[in-house]
Every structure is written in structure tokens, then in C-alpha cells.
């Protein structure tokens, strides 16, 4: 019984931190641009495919440090794509109705899927984790894959790093000022457009790094982006739109609910995530850390 509980908690944490890695960039870009970026899942997918190409190009099974370097390179590639997307698309969406931004970013998601099919094809692809992460350890009374432990640690470190970046660095504080009141920030002499651009590049780069980190043990296909996008959107909505802390707490809550729900009712995988999402939004529509809207 204790073994089952431990394993279920571990699986819930793994789901939560993997989803948070994707959701972090999504909630950051909404917090400052107020754009629901459906394309985030597509660029997460591109990061995974870029990392796949780098790993297979260098022989497949790489040392841990090369795998991490490949993840940074994938983040750089996707960040540069974010620069182009901001110049061509996002700048035109800042003063339009939400419906137009939803249509535009969904179109970008379709473009990402088409680009992946054109470059990498429709076949399922995949590689194994680096040898240092391709084993099993015994923690307490639970056998845990080292790669899954690594992903949990990455999610926790990403959250801590983002919190410190937003609250302790000058750039992070400037982002908070612009997110709170861009008009006042511009009156104070801040280069709002540059801060928007930096945030977009950073958000896209995080999507690319997340895709690269999660790529081993994943079956890469053009549908990958949509799968993770649904989970990430659920986490962002439950946590409160634009809140990094809320996304982290939302990921933990939904991950544990999904894991325990699947443990007790294995014939209904995935349904408990959606049920929890619906119930939480009925009770607290603004999300865990969201601010209640007043008329």
C-alpha cells in the first residue's frame, strides 16, 4: 500500500513538473502581453525536434553535459524564432480584440505542425535519455527512474529561478512594471517595446528548452505540441492567468489529482485532470493566485 502511494505521488510530481516546464513560458507571455499564445505548444514541439536532430546527429546517446548543451541550443533556436514571431505577428496583436490573437496564434500552431511534418516527416521518432539518466534508483520503498527525478528537479529549479528573476533582478522588476501598467511605464521613460520583445524571446526560449529536456522517452510526432498545450493551459488557468507561482501550484494540484484518480480508476486516464479543472474554475474562476474581477 505504501509503495503504491509513494509511486502515485511520484508520478503526480513528474506530471506536474513536466507540465510546469511548458506552462512557465505560457503564463509569462500572458502576464505581460495578455495574449493567449496557442502557438506555445508548437514551439515547444520544435524545441523537442531540434534537440532530437542534435542528439541523433552526434550519435544518439550523449553525455549529460552535451544533452544540456543541446537543450540550451534548442532554446536559442526557438528564442530566435520568437523574435521573428514578435516582429511579424505579436506586435500587430497588442491592441486588438482577444479573438484575433486566438486565431493568429492558433494559425501559428498549425504552421509549426506543418513545418515539423515537412522537415521531420510523420513517423514517430525518439531517443533514450543520456546514460547518466537512464537508470533506476530506490528511494524509500519506491523504484524511480533517474530521468523522471531529473525532470522533477528541473521543474522545481525552473520555478525557483523564475521567482528570483522576476522579484530580484532589475529586468524582472521592469517586466513586472510593464505588465502592471504599460502606459505608465512608457511615461516613466521605459522602453516598453523592448521589454515586450525580451519577454517574448525569453518565453519562446523556455518553450524550446522544455521541449528539449522532455524529448527523451517521448514519442515525437506532429501532435506532441497539442497534447502538452492542453495540459499547460489547464495549469495556467487553474493557477491564475499570468502568475508563475499560481502555475506551479496549479501544476502540483492537477498532477496529484490526475495521478491518484488514474490509480483508483485506471480505465479513465486523463479524465480527472479535466474534472479537476472544471470544478476548480467553478469554485474559483480567477484561479488559485488570480485576482477576482470586479465590475
User: Which contiguous run of DSSP H or E holds residue 51?
Assistant: helix 40-57
Integer Cα distance of 276 and 274 in angstroms: 5
Instruction: Decide if 197 is inside a domain.
Output: yes
pTM across the whole model: 0.91
pLDDT recorded at residue 105: 92
Q: What is the pLDDT of residue 294?
A: 40
Please give the pLDDT value at position 33: 82
The Cα 171–Cα 177 span in angstroms is 10
Look at residue 53 and tell me if it is in a domain.
Answer: yes
Summarize pLDDT for 127-170 with one digit per residue, the tens. 888 888 888 888 767 788 899 999 999 999 999 999 999 999 99
76: Cα within 13 Å, side-chain hemisphere: 7
- Give the three-class secondary structure for 220: strand
* Residue 292, pLDDT score: 57
Query: In the chain, how many domains are there?
Result: 1
In this prediction, the residues of the chain whose per-residue pLDDT falls under 70 are 1, 60, 140, 291-295
Query: Residue 1: its pLDDT value, please?
Result: 65
Q: Is 73 domain-assigned? A: yes
CATH code of the domain containing 48: 1.10.3470
Helix or strand run (H / E) with residue 137 = strand 136-139
Q: What is the DSSP letter of 290?
A: P
d(CA 121, CA 113): 10
pLDDT number for residue 288:
85
Q: Are 66 and 212 in contact (CB under 8 A)?
A: no
| Residue 172: inside a domain | yes
Average pLDDT of the chain, as a whole number: 89
Domain assignment present for 289: no
Domain that holds residue 107: 2-283
**β-pair partners for 268:** none
Residue 290: inside a domain, yes or no?
no
pLDDT computed for residue 96 by the predictor: 80
Classify residue 219: in a domain, yes or no: yes
Domain assignment present for residue 212? The answer is yes
Type and span of the H or E element at 139:
strand 136-139
Amino acid at each position: 500500500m505504501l509503495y503504491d502511494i509513494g509511486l502515485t505521488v511520484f508520478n503526480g510530481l513528474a506530471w506536474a513538473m513536466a507540465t510546469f516546464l511548458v506552462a512557465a513560458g505560457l503564463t509569462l507571455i500572458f502576464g505581460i502581453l495578455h495574449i493567449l499564445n496557442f502557438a506555445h505548444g508548437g514551439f515547444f514541439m520544435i524545441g523537442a525536434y531540434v534537440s532530437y536532430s542534435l542528439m541523433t546527429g552526434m550519435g544518439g546517446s550523449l553525455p549529460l553535459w552535451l544533452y544540456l548543451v543541446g537543450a540550451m541550443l534548442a532554446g536559442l533556436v526557438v528564442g530566435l524564432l520568437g523574435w521573428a514571431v514578435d516582429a511579424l505577428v505579436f506586435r500587430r496583436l497588442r491592441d486588438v480584440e482577444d479573438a484575433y490573437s486566438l486565431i493568429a496564434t492558433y494559425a501559428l500552431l498549425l504552421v509549426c505542425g506543418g513545418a515539423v511534418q515537412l522537415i521531420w516527416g510523420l513517423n514517430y521518432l525518439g531517443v533514450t535519455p543520456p546514460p547518466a539518466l537512464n537508470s533506476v534508483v530506490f528511494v524509500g520503498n519506491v523504484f524511480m527512474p533517474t530521468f523522471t527525478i531529473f525532470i522533477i528537479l528541473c521543474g522545481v529549479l525552473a520555478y525557483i529561478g523564475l521567482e528570483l528573476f522576476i522579484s530580484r533582478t532589475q529586468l524582472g522588476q521592469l517586466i513586472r512594471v510593464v505588465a502592471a501598467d504599460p502606459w505608465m511605464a512608457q511615461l516613466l521613460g521605459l522602453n516598453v517595446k523592448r521589454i515586450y520583445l525580451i519577454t517574448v524571446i525569453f518565453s519562446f526560449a523556455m518553450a524550446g528548452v522544455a521541449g528539449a529536456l522532455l524529448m527523451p522517452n517521448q514519442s515525437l510526432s506532429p501532435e506532441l505540441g497539442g497534447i502538452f498545450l492542453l495540459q499547460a493551459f489547464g495549469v495556467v488557468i487553474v493557477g491564475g492567468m499570468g502568475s508563475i507561482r499560481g502555475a506551479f501550484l496549479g501544476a502540483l494540484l492537477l498532477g496529484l489529482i490526475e495521478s491518484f484518480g488514474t490509480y483508483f480508476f485506471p480505465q479513465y486516464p486523463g479524465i480527472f485532470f479535466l474534472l479537476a479543472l472544471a470544478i476548480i474554475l467553478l469554485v474559483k474562476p480567477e484561479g488559485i493566485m488570480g485576482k477576482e474581477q470586479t465590475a
